Amino acid sequence: MKTITFDQIKTSSIALEFDELIPDEIYSWTEADFAKYEVPIGNSRFPITDFFDITVEGEAEGPADVKMILNGDLNRVKYIGCKMSAGDIVCNSSVDLHVGAEMSGGSILVNGDAAAHAGREMSGGYLEITGNTKEFTGASYIGEWRGMTGGEIVVGGNAGKQCGECLTGGKIHVKGNCDILAGIHMTKGIIEIDGDVNRWPGGQMKNGTIVIHGFLGRLLEGFVLEGIVEDPEDSGVVFPGKYIKYTGDIGLNGKGNLYLDAEANKEKLSTYGELDDEYTSIREYRNL
């Protein structure tokens, strides 16, 4: 195993671009190689050693044998782990845009927050962010129609708007709350949200599963109530408990599944009228 440690000595007001510094490209590098490398900053390049002390320990036969450790203030470092296929990256700070974008394998751990487009269009691997993420987590990029297709993203805090936009595979697990339009345009995959959701999850979804364990503020008109289900499952993943199930978005003939925790959202059910203890009298309930 080769461990490459980046200890920051200076920050930059313009973001450093780390897309070339992934295990796939640097598994054979020595400290002398890093001393010659210039990192992109805007439309220029500067020696990476102006910003980081870099220590290389051990040997690697390939990218899977590499562990990168990034220490310091990484708020102005973007594209960390972009397009990586193997290896491990640990970021001991919050990070800038596009962490884990287009990654196909390996793992990234961010001990902090992530800016927009975390896990953009990733097809495999594991991305964990212990803090919050901004908008477009696991989503497509501007002008594209396909977002995350595989792998797993775990957000320990809250996620911004359009989390999982155009999701076509993989799983996103948000342990906090989620802003508007989670899962918009999704066609496959799973989004699980432990906290509350602001408004409008699953807009124009065609397939896939969204599970909300907290309270949903507002549901779109294109979802049809199916009733109460217990322990729903998707792709071998079981979600224990009792849920209000909807399907949609019917505006696109969608067959996506949206599950709301029945206890957390019982206020919605109570607006329909008299309900028995098993919530069996709700077939006519819709979007209240």
For residue range 35-90, list pLDDT tens digits in order: 999 999 999 999 999 999 999 999 999 999 999 999 999 999 999 999 999 999 99
Q: What domain range includes position 120? A: 113-270
Instruction: Give the pLDDT score at 268.
Output: 65
How much is the average pLDDT of 127-143?
A: 96
Question: How far is CA 200 from its chain centroid?
Answer: 18
Q: How confident is the model at residue 143 (pLDDT cuts 50, 70, 90)?
A: confident
pLDDT at 15 over 50: yes
Q: Flag whether 28 is in a domain.
A: no
For the beta carbon of residue 41, count every other beta carbon within 10 angstroms: 17
Q: Flag whether 1 is in a domain.
A: no
- In the chain, beta strands by DSSP E: 2-8, 16-17, 38-41, 44-47, 52-57, 66-71, 77-78, 88-92, 107-110, 126-129, 152-155, 168-174, 188-193, 209-212, 223-230, 233-234, 237-238, 242-248, 256-261
The total number of structural domains in the chain stands at 1
Q: Flag whether 37 is in a domain.
A: no
pLDDT at 116 over 70: yes
Q: Flag whether 101 is in a domain.
A: no
Instruction: Give the pLDDT score at 270.
Output: 55
Q: Flag whether 256 is in a domain.
A: yes
Average model confidence (pLDDT) across the chain: 92
